[in-house]
Each structure stands twice: as structure tokens, then as C-alpha cells.
Amino acid sequence: MKRYLGLGAFYLLVAVIIFYSVFPFYYAIISSLKPPSQLFRVDYFPVYWVWDNYIAVFREQPFATNIFNSVLVSVSVVALSLFLGVTAAYALGRVQFRGRGTLLLAILAISMFPAVAVLSGMFELIRLFGLYNNLLSLTLSYMTFTIPFTVWVLTTFMRGLPKELEEAAVMDGATPWIIITRVFMPLLWPALVTTGLLAFIQAWNEFLFALTFTLTNTQRTVPVAIALITGASQHELPWGNIMAASVIVTVPVVVLVLIFQRRIVSGLTAGAVKG
Amino acid sequence: MEERSELTRTRVTAAWLFLAPMLIILVLTAGWPLLRTIWFGFTDANLADLSTFKFVGFDNYLTREDGKWVGLLADPEWWRAVWNTLRFAAISVTLETVLGMIVALVLNASFPGRAIVRAAVLIPWAVPTIVSAKMWSWMLNDQFGIINDALMRLGLVSHPLAWTANPDLAMLSVIMVDVWKTTPFMALLLLAALQMLPSDCYEAAKVDGIHPVKVFFKVTLPLIRPAVMVAVIFRALDALRIFDLIYVLTSNSKDTMSMSVYARQQLVDFQEVGYGSAASTLLFITVGICIIVYMAVGRVRFDKE
């Protein structure tokens, strides 16, 4: 009897955890599918299935452009940080040299920066390069947080690769560049998928720099566009549109995360616990 | 032997060559802007024209003007932002650690449907912060929000609450959303630590008939303490620099304004680059002090291999 009671309590806890995690997103989805006239009546279960809000988001603002901007920025950030990350991780993970420990510690310290601490310096730099209100300003500024992260995680992975492989390659006269591209790359791709995905999510979600360094609607990324959706007045926010936009940008990320969930967990723990 | 050291030397040269592009980008996007921010903190720079400014010493921090103390350290709004940030970080990280531990323990047990729970738990983590702020502000809406509706149906409140506008509730709302969003991260880190524990001491405890709660506090917790400490510091650093959630959920309300929101408001909205940079620098120093104190107290080491 006591055993069944314990089991019942356990499954109740499980149910609470699932409900708590999923409900806000579920509620955003059912709100987004309501016709605007019904939005202000609270429904706990899906009653409507209309796409008006989804059409309105694209019609009332350049949301397609915003999505394109976000994709462009995130993909370029991932490509650049993976390239810089792999080469640096090879040096930091496989070669013994003086100052390596200090360098790793400095990189870790940078990943703990509050982003606002580089804001005014970055602003000056972006004006200097003439990149204000240009998507390149975001690619550049996102390096502040993706580089330390990718370098740190890839170094952890790189260290775990067998030493014999590299020695054999050196015996055959392979240069470090060949070792990275031909010997380590094939072994490293799961790590690259994980790191790339996490960097992509970071760039996709970034808000402070995107809000500060872009000015016009057509240069905005998705998070800024959603945050700045306004209605006729302050008190008439178009909640239907906001929820539809939120669902549009969240579904791809949730799908990616669920597909790669095992890899993501290993990437997060490599970045934090093993560090 | 001669050849060996020759080989080592070329490897070290290659290593620095491989590091160079990354280091250049990192200096350009992190090192240099940080130094400029600290420098701007000692000037009267304005956003409208960043090329002309003059050195003003510590005037942005504290100075005496017309017989009154002025500057950041004499600004009650700044101190309010400091207090808001510290209070937010302490409460939300504590809650996230406790809840994250519960979720991690559940996920560490084997039961049918565990994969579903893990997938469900990942959803809040995958939702972009801005989106979670918007989703929750819709749920917390004072007139049409589902939370007020549910609380009134349950008879817990007699009239709708203005969650994000009421000064007493605004910080609670921010903490609520942050806990929802980041508990999964905590849970995953703690789960990874739990899964590395040896199973034999649990079997021994089970054979001896020791109560599971006692096992948790006497065996599990001491063993995963290092992992908990690292997870807590990662979350705490994130919480101290919080910007987007507060900016979207309660905009520039003084009741919830964090140090990052304050600094950006000065910098961008009021164009006071000098003053805003001084605030950013103080935030940077605060984060640094927190890391050092925490590492000294918790004896956490990052550099062990």
C-alpha cells in the first residue's frame, strides 16, 4: 500500500513537471490560433483553428525579412566561430606550450563578461567601421560570446581524442593543418554539430546587441522585431500577432533541440561541468 | 632527440599560428571594447558624437557639485538597480537550484516515460528569452491573462492582479519567468553529475535499509557538490547580467530595473555614454567580485584538467 502511494506521488510530480514545462508554450499556440475577436476570452483548451494572426504578422510588418536577417546572422556567426574555434581548440587541446593555461582562463573569464560592459566600446567600433544598422555589426559583436564558448567546448572534445592517431599522422609527415582537416575533422563532427547548434541558439536569441546596433524595421532580427511589435496604443498590444510570431520563431528551435537533445546535453555539460 | 625538439618547436609555432585569428577577433570584440568602456567611464562622452569628449576623472562615479554629492554612487536609482539585481540573482538562482535538483532526481530514476519528461523539460530552455517574456506577459496580463482567471476560479484572489505593473508583484513576476526558463539548464547539469556517481554505494545503502532522503543528504549531495557549485556560479553570472527578460517584461520600471537595464538606459536612451559606461564598469566589477568571493568560499577551481 505504502509502495503504491509512493509511486502515485512520484507520477504526480512527473505530471506537474510536464505540465509546468509545456503549458506556457501550449497556451501561446492556442492563443495564436484564435481569431482576434475571441482573444480576450480565456480558454484552457483549443477551440479555434484560424490562421489570421499568422497572416497578419507577415502583412503588418517585414517579418519575413526579420526571419531572413536572423538566419543570415546566426549562420554566419556559427560558421565563423566554428572555424576559429576548431583551429584554436587544436592549439589549446593538443599542443603543450607556455601560457596555455593562462589563455584558457582568460577565454573563460571573457565568457563571463556582462554584455553591457562592452556595449559602449562596441558601439564606437561599429561606428568606426560604418556598420551601424548593418547586419555585419551583429555578426561581429556576437563573436564576443560565441568564440569563448566554442573554443572552450571544442578544446574539451579535442583533448579526448586518442594521441596515437596524431602521432601516426606526424610520422607520415602530416602538417598540423592536414591533421586537423583530415584526421580530426571526421572524429570531431559530432562535437561540431553540438557546438554549432548551441552557438546558433545563442545567436538566434540574442537581444541586447541586436536592439542597440540596428535601427530600422528591415534590419532587425526576430527577437527585436517581436519585442517591438506595437498596436494602435500602448494598451492595445496585438497579442494574437505577438503569439503567432513567437510560435513561428520557437518551433524550429524546439524541433532542433528535441532532435539533438542527447548531443545538446553533452555539449552543455562539456562547457560547464567538465570545465 | 634533436629531431624531437625541432618537431616540438614547429608544433608550437603552428599552435600560435592557429590561435592568431581567434585571438585577433577576441581582442577586437571583447578586450578592446571592454577597455574603451572603462575609459569612457572617466569621460563626458555623448552618443551623438563619440569622437569629441574630455577626461573628467571620477566625476561620473562621485563628485561634489554645489554642495551636493552627485554621480553614480550618489544616485538612489543606481543603488536600487544594484539591490534589484542582487535580490533577483539570489532568489532566482536558489529556486532554480532546488527545483533543478528535484527535476534531475526525477530524470535520474528509471521509469516508463522518462524520455517524454526529458523532452518536455527541454522546451523552456529552447524557447528564446524574448519569446518567453512575451508568452508570460500574455499569461500574466491583468485583464485577460489566464493566470488571473485560474486564480479567481480557484478562489485564491478576489480581483485580477496587475502582475507586471504592481510594484510589489513585478519582481515576483520576473523571478517566476526566469525560474521557468532556466530551471532546465540547472536540471541538465545536475543530472549529468548524478549520472557519473558510482551505483555501488547506493546499493549498499539500500541493503542497509537507509531512508532515501537520508541517502540524498548524506551521500548524493556531498558527492555532487563540486558540480552544483559550478552550475550555481554559471547561473549566478547569467542572473547578475540579466537584461532582456526585464526589459521586455516590465520595460523601464524602477521596481525591477537591473544594473544592465540601468546602464543601457543611460548609454542609449539618455545618450550619456560616459555615465552609462561608468555604470557598466561597476557591473563588471560587481560580477568580478562575486566570482572571486564565490570561488574563495566554495573553493571551486576551473583550471584543473
Instruction: Give pLDDT tens digits for B146-190.
Output: 999 999 999 998 888 988 888 889 999 999 999 999 999 899 889
Length of chain B: 305
Residue B36 and residue A108: Cβ atoms within 8 Å?
no
Average pLDDT over residues A82-95: 91
**How many Å lie between the alpha carbon of A125 and the closest alpha carbon of chain B?**
8
A265–chain B Cβ distance below 8 A for any pair:
yes
Q: What is the pLDDT of residue A274?
A: 40
Give the span between the Cα atoms of B15 and B241, in whole angstroms. 34
E strand or H helix that includes residue B239 = helix B221-240
Give the span between the Cα atoms of B174 and A184, in whole angstroms. 45
User: Do the domain assignments include residue B280?
Assistant: yes
Closest A-chain CA to B22: A84
Residue B15 and residue B111 in one domain: no
Does residue B64 sit in helix, strand or coil?
strand
A210–chain B Cβ distance below 8 A for any pair:
no
Mean residue pLDDT of chain B comes to 88
- The answer, yes or no, to whether residue A233 has pLDDT greater than 70, is no
Question: Residue B247: pLDDT band by 50, 70, 90 thresholds?
Answer: very high
- What's the total number of domains in chain B? 2
Collect all residues of chain B within an 8 Å Cβ-Cβ radius of residue A211.
Answer: 247
Do A263 and A256 meet the contact criterion of CB atoms below 8 Å apart? no
Residue A103 and residue B19: Cβ atoms within 8 Å?
yes
Q: What is the pLDDT of residue B100?
A: 95
Collect all residues of chain B within an 8 Å Cβ-Cβ radius of residue A91.
Answer: 14-16, 18-19
Does residue B49 sit in helix, strand or coil?
strand
The residue type at A231: G
Do B102 and B184 meet the contact criterion of CB atoms below 8 Å apart? no
CATH of domain A62-235+247-272: 1.10.3720.10
Domain that holds residue B19: 1-38
A99–chain B Cβ distance below 8 A for any pair:
no
Q: Which of B189, B248, B302 sits opposite A108 (nearest CB)?
A: B302
**How many Å lie between the alpha carbon of B106 and the closest alpha carbon of chain A?**
7
Burial class (CB in 10 A: 0-12, 13-18, 19+), B305: exposed
Average pLDDT over residues A233-256: 87
Collect all residues of chain B within an 8 Å Cβ-Cβ radius of residue A227.
Answer: 130, 133-134, 247-248
Do B120 and B112 meet the contact criterion of CB atoms below 8 Å apart? no
Q: What is the pLDDT of residue B305?
A: 37
% of chain A beyond a pLDDT of 70: 96
Residue B280 and residue A117: Cβ atoms within 8 Å?
yes
Q: Is B57 left (phi over 0), alpha (psi -120 to 50) or beta?
A: left
Residue B105 and residue B3 in one domain: no
Residue B139 and residue B266 in one domain: yes
Residue B10 and residue B88 in one domain: no
Which of these ranges, A100-104, A121-125, B8-12, B263-267, has the smallest mean pLDDT? Answer: B8-12
Collect all residues of chain A within an 8 Å Cβ-Cβ radius of residue B118.
Answer: 261
A13–chain B Cβ distance below 8 A for any pair:
yes
Give the span between the Cα atoms of A70 and A204, in whole angstroms. 6
Give the span between the Cα atoms of B235 and A145, in whole angstroms. 15
- The answer, yes or no, to whether residue A272 has pLDDT greater than 60, is no
Q: Give the up-direction half-sphere exposure of residue A122: CA atoms within 13 A in the CB hemisphere.
A: 28
Closest A-chain CA to B259: A116
Q: What is the pLDDT of residue A232?
A: 65
The pLDDT tens digits for A185-214 are 888 888 898 899 989 999 999 999 999 999
User: Do the domain assignments include residue B29?
Assistant: yes
A1–chain B Cβ distance below 8 A for any pair:
no
Question: Residue B144: pLDDT band by 50, 70, 90 thresholds?
Answer: confident
The residue type at A81: S
Q: Convert chain A into a string of H (helix), E (strand) and C (coil).
A: CHHHHHHHHHHHHHHHHHHHHHHHHHHHHHHHCCCHHHCCCCCCCCCCCCCHHHHHHHHHCCHHHHHHHHHHHHHHHHHHHHHHHHHHHHHHHHCCCCCHHHHHHHHHHHHCCCHHHHHHHHHHHHHHCCCCCCHHHHHHHHHHHHHHHHHHHHHHHHHCCCHHHHHHHHHCCCCHHHHHHHHHHHHHHHHHHHHHHHHHHHHHHCCHHHHHHCCCHHHCCHHHHHHCCCCCCCCCCCHHHHHHHHHHHHHHHHHHHHHCHHHHHHHHHHHHCCC
Closest CA to A91 of A149, A183, A154, A182: A154
Closest CA to B187 of A21, A199, A168: A21
Q: What is the pLDDT of residue B3?
A: 56
Q: What is the pLDDT of residue B227?
A: 85
**How many Å lie between the alpha carbon of A97 and the closest alpha carbon of chain B?**
6
- The answer, yes or no, to whether residue B295 has pLDDT greater than 90, is no
Which of these ranges, B29-43, B205-219, B233-247, has the smallest mean pLDDT? Answer: B205-219
- The answer, yes or no, to whether residue B235 has pLDDT greater than 80, is yes
**Which A positions 21-60 lie with beta carbon below 8 A of chain B?**
21-22, 24-25, 27-28, 31, 39-42, 44
Query: Which residue of A32, A103, A116 to mutate against B (max B Cβ within 10 Å)?
Result: A116
Domain CATH code at residue B244: 1.10.3720.10
Q: What is the pLDDT of residue B303?
A: 46
Do A73 and A142 meet the contact criterion of CB atoms below 8 Å apart? yes
Closest B-chain CA to A243: B135
How many contacts (CB atoms, under 8 Å) link A and B? Answer: 289
- The answer, yes or no, to whether residue B284 has pLDDT greater than 50, is yes
Residue B110 and residue B208 in one domain: yes
Residue B126 and residue A201: Cβ atoms within 8 Å?
yes
Residue B280 and residue A265: Cβ atoms within 8 Å?
no
Residue found under cell 585571438: B23
User: Do the domain assignments include residue B11?
Assistant: yes
Q: Find the largest Cα–Cα distance for chain A.
A: 74
Domain ranges of chain A: 2-50, 62-235+247-272
A10–chain B Cβ distance below 8 A for any pair:
yes
Do A92 and A151 meet the contact criterion of CB atoms below 8 Å apart? yes
**How many Å lie between the alpha carbon of B29 and the closest alpha carbon of chain A?**
5
E strand or H helix that includes residue B156 = none
Collect all residues of chain B within an 8 Å Cβ-Cβ radius of residue A250.
Answer: 126-128, 131
Average pLDDT over residues A16-41: 92
Q: What is the pLDDT of residue B123?
A: 92
Residue B8 and residue B157 in one domain: no
Query: Considering Cα of A253, then A254, then A256, then A261, what sign does the dihedral take?
Result: positive
Residue B25 and residue A84: Cβ atoms within 8 Å?
yes
Residue found under cell 543570415: A72
Mean residue pLDDT of chain A comes to 88
Which of these ranges, A151-165, A230-244, B291-305, has the smallest mean pLDDT? Answer: B291-305
Which of these ranges, A6-10, A72-76, A149-153, A235-239, has the smallest mean pLDDT? Answer: A235-239
Query: Which residue of B5, B6, B10, B18 to mutate against A (max A Cβ within 10 Å)?
Result: B18
Give the span between the Cα atoms of B256 and B84, in whole angstroms. 6
